[in-house]
Amino acid sequence: MAAVESPSRKRLRSEHVEDRKFVKESLPNLSDEDVDSKVGYESVSSANDAPSYLQEHKKALSQLYTRSVEAKIWGVAAKGLYMTVPPKFYPEYTKPDGASYVYRELDFWTSGFFPGSLYLLLERRRKYSHIIGYACKYWTENLHKNARLHTTHDLGFMIMPWAKLAVELNHDLRALETIKSAANTLFGRFSKKMGCMRSWDTCKTKNYHFDDMNKDFMVIIDNMMNLNLLFYAASKTSNRDMFSAAVQHAQTTARTHIRADGSTIHVVVFDTQTGGIKHRITNQGYAHTSCWARGQSWAIAGFAETYSWTHDKDFLDTARRCADYFLARMPKSGIVPWDFDALEAEGPTQPPDSSAALIAAYGMLLIHRASKSLGQSSSYLAEALKIIEVVCTNQMNSPTKFVTSRQVVDTVEHGTMEELALQVDLEAGETILNGATINNYEFAPRRWANHGLVYADYFFLLTGNLLMEMGIGQLALNGN
């Protein structure tokens, strides 16, 4: 009997045909042969990819899907639902040894991650989907206006974690328009002369400052993660110029931010007048010549995502180089440090960064999937699972649980009634993870280290959902 193609594989094959067409149209200088060499068919990874890995890691991986994970996200979300208006402040981090979130304004770059976590919860759990869906809408109501922020490059972080899933899960047309608007805003920061988008307008630390946009054009490695917004919007609108700008930004970044050994530079300052490089510096790492771990992870994931849109193998090779460097610098403990050179110079008392670990693991899963689709061997799944296991074993906060109780409510139609209430006990901490480090740079205006962080939790959920999509998460849950 002939094999029946699964719906997911059929969908990916169809998307592959469309991708090839769009790449050809967006990069017209490529010959058909060049397009064929750059476009790979990313099939859905089979659970058969890693049965031996699962036997070793399945207990830790099951922690990605516990009720405690859901309870922590829902417990924070429920607080917002008690407000009379949708939230205007969003969770960012917990203080070291603290249990409760510190909140930031809605136009801060991390505002999209908690709503994104809610949507990831909605994606994986359809039970109670109506109330989770309501929370998703409520928590994002005030974020649509961020699409018009012209002063930041972080629109991808602020919009895509929640808006993309709103479109794909709920066919939310308002979210799609927000994505298009945000992409146009971000596209406005692109400079043909520099071949990339401006990241920061200004920057000030205790030992340097850049405050003249007419002289200085700053680009940070983090910006690779915002290209997803441009690629997605370009695919929905057939905007070839936008697609091309994202490609050029990635090409420029590969040339200017990646060292010969595969390590990354955090900030490159260009001369606005000449287009030449004035400075290569750090803003969050140990030193200008060091390798800040989260910057390295942004590069791994960012170039892997860019490959998934362009199918240009140069980007996949860059992602691999960055991943290989990351893995080569990992300490024996497997706990990712905030900066690889800080750990080497200062010793094991240096703080870790669980966010860097999970962002890197996410990127490695993408590299593995791309490699398998090209018929190539890959060790990146095994390495990603090791990283995730270390985080699950060493950097998870104490579990949180749902608490059921009975409450009395007054109704118009039925008078006083008793109903079951579902609440969350958050005394164990509002974040899923600890061990993150926002910024430990010696000359930073403020330093935060070894704490909970909203985007560490977001990438924890994202890697869990990606493993489910790859057919691996289910086996961890089923114990097979």
Structural domains in the chain plus CATH codes: 40-478 (1.50.10.10)
CB 307 within 8 A of CB 370: yes
Tokens linked to 72: 């922590």
Beta-carbon contacts of residue 362 (< 8 Å; ≥ 6 apart): 301, 384, 459, 462, 463, 466
Beta-carbon contacts of residue 103 (< 8 Å; ≥ 6 apart): 89, 90, 91, 92
> Nearest CA to 77 among 140, 127, 123?
140
The CA distance from 26 to 230, in Å, is 13
Q: pLDDT of the chain along its 480 residues, tens only? A: 333 333 344 444 444 455 556 555 665 555 565 555 444 444 444 445 555 667 778 888 899 999 899 999 999 998 888 888 999 999 999 999 888 999 999 999 999 999 999 999 999 876 557 888 999 999 999 999 999 999 999 999 999 999 999 999 999 999 999 999 999 999 999 999 999 999 999 999 999 999 999 999 999 999 999 999 999 999 999 999 999 999 999 999 999 999 999 999 999 999 999 999 999 999 999 999 999 999 999 999 999 999 999 999 999 999 999 999 999 999 999 999 999 999 999 988 899 999 999 999 999 999 999 999 999 999 999 999 999 999 999 999 999 887 765 544 444 445 555 544 456 777 778 999 999 999 999 999 989 999 999 999 999 999 999 999 998 887 777 754
407: three-class secondary structure by DSSP: strand
- Residue 191's DSSP bridge partners are 196
Q: Which residues of 235-258 are buried (b: 16+ CB within 10 A; e: fewer)?
A: beeebeebbbbbbbbbbbbbebbb
CB 446 within 8 A of CB 456: no
The CA distance from 308 to 260, in Å, is 24
Q: What is the pLDDT of residue 315?
A: 99
The CA distance from 449 to 44, in Å, is 37
Q: What is the pLDDT of residue 224?
A: 99
Phi, psi of 62 (to 5 degrees): -65, -20
The CA distance from 362 to 25, in Å, is 29
Side chain identity, residue 65 = Y
Beta-carbon contacts of residue 69 (< 8 Å; ≥ 6 apart): 63, 432, 460, 461, 464
CB 191 within 8 A of CB 197: yes
